[in-house]
Amino acid sequence: MDQKKVGLFLKALRKERSLTQEALAEVLNVSARTVSRWETGCNMPDISLLVELAEFYQVGISEIIDGERRTEQMEKTEQMDQETRDTAVKLAAYSRNSLGVEKRNLVGVLLMAFAALLMISGFAVFPSESSWGSIFAIAGAGIGLVGVWLRVKSLLPYRSVRVLTVVGCAVALFGVFMVSDYIAVAEFQQVPRFSYEKRSGDGVVEHRTLFYTVVQRNPGAADERVEIVR
């Protein structure tokens, strides 16, 4: 392919329409510099823009690639050119779709990484008495599930399977939160992070979770004790 010849042909087609490079660039949603590089043969349009140029100028894709209009003998190849056009359209659509899938996968991975950072921060940075720890952990879990959904959307063909996968991840995260909370109470004498109710009395604070109740005796004192009562 002679890029200089193609560029001169594109320039001639533009001038036939009495268009400036800026006007054509606006029609194709590209920069005037891009149009200039096409017409000087420094660069060639990609597949999707090649299709748009052919339709805009009402010429065949093979004519643009050859850098000249069809002769009478070349009219016989018109059907083949239409097939080429259709193939190029499909290739352009496939290219856009593939790019969309790649972006979705990348966003999913980034969301899962950010979610892990939030959950780790919730457990490691904030003390168990602070509600911010549970807030960060729950927010991270929600963001992580969105990331999982984006990731499995391109990996699993059936919607029902994708939904079950996300639900399974949600159940697994819930189990991790509950087990880690129980271990923190039973082994390290910490109050539960994921309690839904807290009652304070005379030297006693009662923390209620979904599965058990924790009593914190003499909070803040040297002889503070944390125990599971039921």
Tell me what the mean pLDDT of segment 89-105 comes to. 65
- Listed in order, the ranges of the chain carrying CATH 1.10.260.40 are 3-69
Is the pLDDT score of 174 beyond 90? Answer: yes
Stronger pLDDT, 59 or 97, i.e. the higher one: 59
pTM of the complete model: 0.54
- Give the number of other Cβ atoms within 10 Å of residue 171's Cβ: 10
CATH architecture assigned to 3-69:
Orthogonal Bundle (1.10)
Instruction: Give the pLDDT score at 146.
Output: 92
Give 86 or 15, the one with higher predicted confidence. 15
pLDDT single digits (tens) 13-57:
999 989 999 999 998 899 999 999 888 888 888 888 888 888 888
